Structure 1
Amino acid sequence: MLRKAFVMTVYPQYYEEYEKRHAELWSAMQEAIKAHGAHSYSIFLHPATGQLFAYLEINDEQLWDALASTEICRQWWAYMAPLMETYANNQPVSIDLKQVFHLSR
């Protein structure tokens, strides 16, 4: 299993809407995330900065990366684009984080 973490940014006036939309995550998007190998996926908000910290556990990096090319993912990005920093194609601007420590049981 691989652990991934990255940061994104949501605009302050949309914190509640961002959370609401994720609470109502489309079933097709949930299925796509799982089909692309995610076992666990969490997003945390730092309210003072608008920074989102995302953490997920996956099976395969290539399988996970393929999610970005699916129609449902592109639709989700377009739906979320007004709420956060994105590239021209609506993909969220995200910065991968380097793991520097891990403790497990």
Structure 2
Amino acid sequence: MANTIKLASKMKLNPGQANEYKKRHNPIWPELSQLLKGYGISDYSIFLDHETNILFAVLSVVVPERLEDLKSEEIMKKWWTYMMDIMETNDDHSPVSIPLEEVFYLA
């Protein structure tokens, strides 16, 4: 298996949308799951801080530079539009996602 790089970011839900966010991810659309895996994404988790509505996402990816290409995928655009009413988004409907720096790792 190719070496993977771990990436983390944070996003923000609109107040009162935690249950809806969980509902929309359970189950995730099969075609979206297939797309993400096709981009080399694995071990993807999203956690929620209920006090701040901050989502913390962490994933592993083989070639991080390829993730930028997800913006051109129709299923990705459709997912972002589907999610835009419950979270902070950019003009293209993608979630406002702030990269986080890894400061500690225990192997």
State the TM-score bracket (shorter-chain normalisation): over 0.9
C-alpha RMSD of the superposition = 0.8
- Alignment match of 1:18 (pick from 21, 33, 43): 21
Specify the alignment match of 1:90 in structure 2. Answer: 93
| TM-score, with length taken from structure 1 | 0.95
Q: 1-side partners of 2:94 and 2:45: how far apart?
A: 18
- Alignment match of 1:70 (pick from 64, 68, 73): 73
Alpha-carbon displacement from aligned partner over 1:54-88 (angstroms, at most 9, x marks no partner): 00001001222222221000000000000000011
Q: 1-side partners of 2:52 and 2:45: how far apart?
A: 18
- Higher mean alpha-carbon deviation, 92-101 vs 63-72, is at 63-72
The aligned amino acid for 2:11 is M
Q: 1-side partners of 2:24 and 2:14: how far apart?
A: 14
* The structure with more helix, counted as a fraction of residues: 1
Listed as ranges, the matches of 1:1-105 within 5 Å are 1-104=4-107
Q: 2-side partners of 1:5 and 1:65: how far apart?
A: 15
| TM-score, with length taken from structure 2 | 0.93
Unaligned runs of 5+ in 2: none
Unaligned runs of 5+ in 1: none
Identity of aligned residues (%): 38
Q: 2-side partners of 1:32 and 1:100: how far apart?
A: 30
